[in-house]
Amino acid sequence: MQVTIDRQEARLIAMEQKAHKSECDLREAIDHQEAKIMDLQTGAQSASKKLETLVAASSRKDEQIKLLKRELNAQEQYSRRNCLRIFGIPERQDEVTDQAVIHLVNDSLGVCLEKHDIERSHRLRVLPKHPGKANSPAPIIVKFQSYRKRSEVLASRCKLAGTRKSIQEDLTKENVRLLKATRDSKEVKAAWTRDGRVIALVPATNGKELKRTINSLEDLNN
């Protein structure tokens, strides 16, 4: 009988030892998994910080690119400050565009313009909008010798109202797009350019109107 009791005690001890080992193994496995989770969390935090750094750097580069594009556009527009585009002057064979411009400015605008006031002029050839049909005359681009004479001519362009002729500033492609977008905006009553800058007439308080300089498309949403 004592032998039976000893055997049972031995079994209980063996079971306790086995259970203790299983518990130790389980704790070790849990500790191992917790260590892995901590490593993953640390890695995720590190990756998140790296991503934030990359996003911030990318944002700074985007802003720098925008700034550079604006500066280049401003420089290009400044290089055109003595130029105007004249629309509606009929085309003739063997024409001299300088003389055509002088005739229009002297006779229609009442501004004294002489040959020495013009540095150069020529037609701007563009693809016809409706091939096979009569199209408007190609515009003439004129570069004046002085900004003062160019401004004098531009200031008198209102005298062409009601005719098929018009005079516009020589804008960069970017400023042409910006002017069109401004004119298409529902919040803008009128838009024009002054020295290449887009000016918009927008509603203000008390039923009044306010002139705003539009430097970018973002300005139209503010």
In order, the DSSP letters of 53-114 are: HHHHHHHHHHHHHHHHHHHHHHHHHHHTTTEEEEE-PPP-TT--HHHHHHHHIIIII-----
Tallying the residues shown for the chain, one arrives at: 222
The residue among 78, 113, 135 that closes a domain is: 78
161 and 94, same domain (yes or no): yes
Task: Write out the two tokens for 25.
Answer: 């193994």
97 and 153, same domain (yes or no): yes
| Greatest alpha-carbon span in the chain | 138
The residue among 48, 78, 108 that closes a domain is: 78
69 and 118, same domain (yes or no): no
Q: Assign 74 a pLDDT band (cuts: 50, 70, 90).
A: very high
The residue among 126, 142, 170 that closes a domain is: 170
Q: Assign 37 a pLDDT band (cuts: 50, 70, 90).
A: confident
**130 has a pLDDT exceeding 60:** no
Residue 88: the pLDDT is 95
The β-bridge partners of 190 are: 201
128 and 162, same domain (yes or no): yes
CATH number of the domain residue 131 falls in? 3.30.70.1820
Q: How many folded domains does the chain comprise? A: 3
**112 has a pLDDT exceeding 90:** yes
Residue 213: the pLDDT is 93
158 and 187, same domain (yes or no): no
Range with lowest mean pLDDT among 26-35, 140-149, 164-173, 194-203: 26-35
Distances (CA, A) of 165 to 98, 134, 156: 16, 17, 13
CATH number of the domain residue 183 falls in? 3.30.160
Query: What is the rounded CA–CA span in Å between residue 128 and residue 132?
Result: 9
Average confidence (pLDDT) over 104-125: 96
139 and 92, same domain (yes or no): yes
Residue 63 half-sphere exposure, CB side, CA atoms within 13 Å?
6
Q: For residue 168, how many other CB atoms are within 10 A of its CB?
A: 16
Containing structural domain, residue 188: 171-222
Percentage of the chain modeled with pLDDT above 70? 93
201 and 150, same domain (yes or no): no
- Model-wide pTM > 0.95: no
**178 has a pLDDT exceeding 60:** yes
Q: Assign 3 a pLDDT band (cuts: 50, 70, 90).
A: low
**133 has a pLDDT exceeding 70:** no
Q: Assign 54 a pLDDT band (cuts: 50, 70, 90).
A: confident
Average confidence (pLDDT) over 86-109: 95
180 and 163, same domain (yes or no): no
Residue 191 half-sphere exposure, CB side, CA atoms within 13 Å?
22
Identify the three-state secondary structure at position 190.
Answer: strand
Q: Between these two residues, 196 and 51, which has the higher pLDDT value?
A: 196
Q: Between these two residues, 130 and 155, which has the higher pLDDT value?
A: 155
